[in-house]
Amino acid sequence: MKAKVKRSKVKVLARLAAVLLHFSLLPFAFGQEAAAPNTEEEFTKAVFFGKKFADLGEYNSAQEQYAKADALKPDQPAVLYNLAVVLARAGRYSDAQVKVDRYLQLFPEGAEKVNVAKLQLELQFQRELQKKRQADQEYADLFNRAKFTYARGELDDALRLFRQAEQVRPNDPASVYNQAIVFEKQGELTQAIGRYRRYAELEGDLDLKASIDERVFTLQREVDDMRTKIVCSFCGRKLPAGAMWCERCWHGPYPVQSAVWNSRPCVEGASATRATYYSDQRFNKNDILPCLWKDGTMLESLRYSAARQRAIQDARKAEGWMYQGDVLQGNREVQYHQGADYLEKVTSTTGGEILTYLAHAAGVGAWLLDREDLVIDASRYTNQYTYDASGRIAQQRVDYQNTAACNHLIAMTADYAYNGDALASVAIKGGYEGYVPEGAPKTDWQANVAYAYDDKGRVTNEELTVTSLIKTYTQKPIGALRDEVGRLYAGMRVKKPVESVQRTGDVCASAGATLLSNPIDLRPFYAMSPNLAIQLPNGVTKAVVTFAYPP
Amino acid sequence: MHLPRIALLLAGCLAAANAVAQALTCPPPPAGRPCEAFHYHVSMFRPDTRAFTEIYGGPRFATQAACERAREQQVSANQKVAGFFRDVKKEERYQPDRFGACHCDMTEEKSSVTFLTESQRTLQLRMTEEIRLRVRERLLDEKITSDSELIRALYSDPPVTPTLGAPKLVPMPTVTRAPIVTVADDLKPTRTLDTTKPTVVALDLPILEIGAPASPPADVAASSPPPPVPTPAEPPVEETRVEAQPSVEAQPDPQPESTNEDTQTAEETAERFISYETQRIQNVLRASSAIADENVKTKIFEACMERIQLLSNLRLLIEGSGMRSRLATAARDAQTEADRLALVSRLFGDSVKPHWAPSDASDVVFDIESSIASEPERALRDSTGRFTADQKKRALYLVLAQTQPTEDQRLWLSTVVEGLLR
């Protein structure tokens, strides 16, 4: 009986357990049946949308859809493949590579294997391309920075950056060309030429090469000119080094090799002092002569450069002078009459003066004056030059009427003597014959200029001595003029040299308390020396210029 | 003894008569030849002989006017002297000098009857001075002082043009170094950069139709790397509202390189600003997918494409103009939405602002007047005042949105932008 009851209890418990099990598993079973079709549907929808977006070129949206599909059903080979493709098309190459790697790991022999291999190759190429683009970008940044810097006028920095650019890409002609431009702007023409030549080597375009050849030729000529030419300090004209005058304005002289003309350099320790003495040897005064050549020598101070030429021309233009090309044409007041080869005449539209010039050629581009009119302190002088075989002044004759005093017609001559290349001495004489009413005075004087040089060929001493001054009245002055002359020279006797003339100077008349005189006027001999082209005060018969140079 | 004296007297009288009769002029120059110099003749009265002497070797003048001025001056001076003797001293026989008219000077023309050699000219000068001295002597004799106006009048010379008396050796002008003009156009652009547009890769690879799984899902081994984190699915777009602000993760500040810190920082700034704005426009695109009207959708798509192009160009401008440029500074300082819109307004004008961050996707579309839209670059470059500042800003929008500027254009655009932000 007990066994029967026990079996029936077991059966009841088994049934109960079965029922409980059934009910406990039911929701799972139902749940599974409800979820499966939903996921599939979402998956299908996602892959469909992904394809549609991809077809539209909307790769980001396509990627989102495939990513959703991948989340719903991970690691489906076609989904992985499509995801990789749209990621690649969207430009997300590293993400695409992750998908490709995943695919190859899971499905090395998958159906999409061939396309995946192509994609893999494409992604490798894109990595290379990206590296190149990054390098491009870095180079473009460097290049643009250099251009910006150049545009701001910071030439040193621009040059540095273009040089960096050349180091990065040695075969880029642009960075080399731009260096040449910077060098040109800096006035470093030789270096600019070097860069242009390198550019021509790199440049493939034949037209551009040809234009660079022309540019190099022009610059080379400019460099040559900088070595061999000077500028006229008045009009800026380019002249051969050593030209005595500028033939387009007749300013000068520019004897750059002359020791006399290089005797006043603007350098520490250099000085020039002119002492003058009366006929009785009494000291008159010292004149400290200002230095002339800022760059040490006449040649360096006048050496041609485009910038220097431009500066001179700009200065003249600011003063109202006009140019035709590089040739001076005059200003509002005076007109330059330029002949075929040189300035032939200067006329004034206000005063009506006419200054005439005659010249002859002396080598390429150099002209020597044969005759010139010169105005100094409102008096007009006429200079006539003769030259030796080397084109140096051999003799100069000066004629003028001293309108500042008694209107005497005065003539002077200077004879130049050279020792080798150096000016050794100049013998000057002058005089005039006065007019009958004033007693027909006859005046003659002689002077000598002597030069001394040191062992370096520099002038150490320049000495002017008036060796004689003789004035003789050849007849009696008439009427009231006799009284006037008597006051000028108390003991004057006709046909006897005036004894006091060296002490008093050559006085000829009075204007109230002022005595009018004919001083020894060496200013027209401006080509002789910058130190002694002076008018000697009455009674002064000696001038000594001493020079000092730095050791 | 008397005969020669009488003869001399007669000769003097004849000479005086001749002088009076003389026309005081040169023969005219050959027809058609321009006159190079002018002068006038003077018949000078010599007080001791009371005879006249014709002088025509005096000063020469470049112009008739200058000649006339000098002549008038001398006539006036001579009248003072003659007036003194005639009116004050009652010497009625004292005659003023006679002056011919100014005319073409033929004294250097060898064929002319008035031609003068150098010595003849000198003789005439000496004669002039001798006559002057005789007059001077008469004046001194009349107790006229030697510095009186009358004596000075004897020697009245025409004024000299000061320019002509300038020194022959001129000091070099003080060279003020002229500023070196550097314009970017002097330089050559590099041609080594790849300027081709980035192409879409893998276009030749097919997108597979996925129905059922082609291969069974793999049994992922425990050792396999974990699957990539899936991108969270976007909720379906229900409307065209655009997210108010795009959410871009703040990126950590990169460590500046010691060599070009400026560029790095400018790039960083560009990246932050442009990423944010790119996300904004992508939100617009995304929102537009809910729009049914294909025409509107297309327009939004086009506007968004232009905006993306604009942002790409803006990035280059920020990067290129350097960290301290106004553009980079403004972009860096634009932290809030209001700042960003203010910057947009300064760059592209107030009218663009509402379309920049549209609350509705369709608002991204806007039209710009045809006068600007047809040639935006020309409008932007215009310096005639034809376009207002606002119109130029809109033109800037179009230039950036519709073109891929070259390096030189970018340089110019940077300048324009710096100007707008000044």
* Amino acid identity for residue B108 in this structure: E
Residues B370 and B376 sit within 8 Å (Cβ to Cβ): no
Q: State the Cα–Cα distance between residues A83 and A62, nearest whole angstrom.
A: 8
Beta bridge partner(s), residue A292 = none
In a domain, B210, yes or no: no
Q: State the Cα–Cα distance between residues A152 and A430, nearest whole angstrom.
A: 64
Query: Is A333's CB within 8 Å of B163's CB?
Result: yes
Residues A240 and A367 placed together within one structural domain of the fold = yes
Query: Looking at residue B155, what is its pLDDT?
Result: 86
Count Cβ–Cβ pairs < 8 Å, chain A vs chain B: 322
Residues B143 and B149 sit within 8 Å (Cβ to Cβ): no
State pTM to two decimals: 0.63
Q: Which of B145, B160, B175 is the last residue of a domain?
A: B160
In a domain, B222, yes or no: no
Query: Looking at residue B19, what is its pLDDT?
Result: 45
Q: Which of B125, B160, B195 is the last residue of a domain?
A: B160
Residues A289 and A356 placed together within one structural domain of the fold = no
Which residues, in sequence order, are CB contacts of B218 under 8 Å at separation 6+? Answer: A75, A106, A107
In a domain, A267, yes or no: yes
Whether the upstream peptide bond of residue A441 has omega within 30° of 0, thus cis, is no
Dihedrals phi, psi of A240, to nearest 5 degrees: -65, 140
Q: State the Cα–Cα distance between residues B156 and A312, nearest whole angstrom.
A: 38
Taking 70 as the pLDDT cut, the residues of chain B under it are: 1-22, 175-178, 195-198, 211-264
- Identify the residue among A75, A319, A331, A514 best suited for mutation to test binding to B, counting B beta carbons within 10 A and taking the highest: A75
Residues A279 and A356 placed together within one structural domain of the fold = no
Query: Looking at residue A40, what is its pLDDT?
Result: 87
User: Which tops the pLDDT comparison, B420 or A37?
Assistant: B420
Residues A442 and A501 sit within 8 Å (Cβ to Cβ): no
Q: Are strands A393-401 and A379-387 parallel, antiparallel or unpaired?
A: antiparallel
Tell me: pLDDT of A291 over 60: yes
Chain A partners of B202 at a C-beta cutoff of 8 Å? 85, 88-89, 96, 118-119, 122
Q: State the Cα–Cα distance between residues A355 and A347, nearest whole angstrom.
A: 6
Min Cα distance B307 → chain A (Å) is 17
Helix (H) / strand (E) element for B104: namely strand B103-104
Per-residue pLDDT reduced to its tens digit, A149-198:
999 999 999 999 999 999 999 999 999 999 999 999 998 999 999 999 99
Q: Are strands A441-453 and A459-473 parallel, antiparallel or unpaired?
A: antiparallel
In a domain, A36, yes or no: yes
Beta bridge partner(s), residue A521 = A535
Residues A409 and A371 placed together within one structural domain of the fold = no
In a domain, A44, yes or no: yes
* Amino acid identity for residue B70 in this structure: A
Chain B partners of A349 at a C-beta cutoff of 8 Å? 62-63, 66
Q: State the Cα–Cα distance between residues B350 and A362, nearest whole angstrom.
A: 75
Dihedrals phi, psi of B80, to nearest 5 degrees: -65, -45
Structure confidence at residue A364 as a pLDDT band (50, 70, 90): confident
Nearest to B196 by CA among A129, A174, A135, A173: A129
Query: Looking at residue B83, what is its pLDDT?
Result: 95
Per-residue pLDDT reduced to its tens digit, A430-483:
999 999 999 999 999 999 999 999 999 999 999 999 999 999 999 999 999 999
Residues A67 and A82 placed together within one structural domain of the fold = yes
Query: Looking at residue A205, what is its pLDDT?
Result: 87
- Per-residue tokens: A364: 């390429």
Query: Looking at residue B244, what is its pLDDT?
Result: 56
In a domain, A430, yes or no: yes
Residues B265 and B393 placed together within one structural domain of the fold = yes
Query: Is B190's CB within 8 Å of A409's CB?
Result: no
Closest Cβ–Cβ partner in A47, A133, A401 for B125? A401
Nearest to A528 by CA among A301, A263, A241: A263
Per-residue pLDDT reduced to its tens digit, A484-507:
999 999 989 999 999 889 999 999
Q: Which of A111, A127, A158 is the last residue of a domain?
A: A111
Query: Is B186's CB within 8 Å of A150's CB?
Result: yes
In a domain, A404, yes or no: yes
Residues A393 and A366 placed together within one structural domain of the fold = no
Query: Is B66's CB within 8 Å of A173's CB?
Result: no
- Residue B187: CB atoms within 10 Å: 25
Split into its structural domains, chain B has a count of 2
Query: Residues A404-417: what's their mean pLDDT?
Result: 97
Residues A63 and A83 sit within 8 Å (Cβ to Cβ): yes
Q: Cα-atom radius of gyration of chain A, to the nearest Å?
A: 51
Chain A partners of B198 at a C-beta cutoff of 8 Å? 91, 133
Query: Looking at residue B238, what is its pLDDT?
Result: 38
Query: Looking at residue A365, what is its pLDDT?
Result: 83
Residues A281 and A327 placed together within one structural domain of the fold = no
CA angle (B16, B18, B24) in 5-degree steps = 105
Min Cα distance B346 → chain A (Å) is 24
Boundaries of domain holding A324: 229-256+300-376
Query: Looking at residue B176, what is its pLDDT?
Result: 66
Nearest to B344 by CA among B266, B263, B401: B401
B174 Rama class: left (phi>0) / alpha (psi -120 to 50) / beta: beta
Based on DSSP, count helices (H) and strands (E) in chain A, helices before strands.
13, 19
Residues A30 and A22 sit within 8 Å (Cβ to Cβ): no
Boundaries of domain holding B297: 240-248+261-421
Residues A243 and A342 placed together within one structural domain of the fold = yes
Q: Which of A46, A76, A111 is the last residue of a domain?
A: A111
A-facing residues of B in 349-388 (CB < 8 A) are none
Min Cα distance B29 → chain A (Å) is 19
Structure confidence at residue A38 as a pLDDT band (50, 70, 90): confident
Residues B308 and B410 placed together within one structural domain of the fold = yes
Residues A67 and A42 placed together within one structural domain of the fold = yes
Residues A335 and A436 placed together within one structural domain of the fold = no
Dihedrals phi, psi of B185, to nearest 5 degrees: -65, -15
Chain B partners of A376 at a C-beta cutoff of 8 Å? 165
Query: Looking at residue B320, what is its pLDDT?
Result: 84
Query: Looking at residue A471, what is its pLDDT?
Result: 97
Residues A479 and A538 placed together within one structural domain of the fold = yes
Tell me: pLDDT of A398 over 60: yes
In a domain, B165, yes or no: no
Structure confidence at residue A233 as a pLDDT band (50, 70, 90): very high
Per-residue pLDDT reduced to its tens digit, A42-56:
999 999 999 999 988
Residues A41 and A106 placed together within one structural domain of the fold = yes
Split into its structural domains, chain A has a count of 3
CA count, 13 A, side-chain hemisphere, A425: 8
- Residue A102: CB atoms within 10 Å: 22
- Evaluate the CA torsion angle B333, B335, B336, B337 in order and state its sign: positive
Q: Is B361 exposed, middle or buried (0-12, 13-18, 19+ CB in 10 A)?
A: buried
Residues B244 and B140 placed together within one structural domain of the fold = no
Q: Which of B144, B160, B176 is the last residue of a domain?
A: B160
Q: State the Cα–Cα distance between residues A241 and A231, nearest whole angstrom.
A: 9
Query: Is B165's CB within 8 Å of A148's CB?
Result: no
Q: Check if B8 contacts A (Cβ < 8 Å).
A: no
Query: Looking at residue A456, what is its pLDDT?
Result: 93
Structure confidence at residue A7 as a pLDDT band (50, 70, 90): low
Dihedrals phi, psi of A423, to nearest 5 degrees: -70, 125
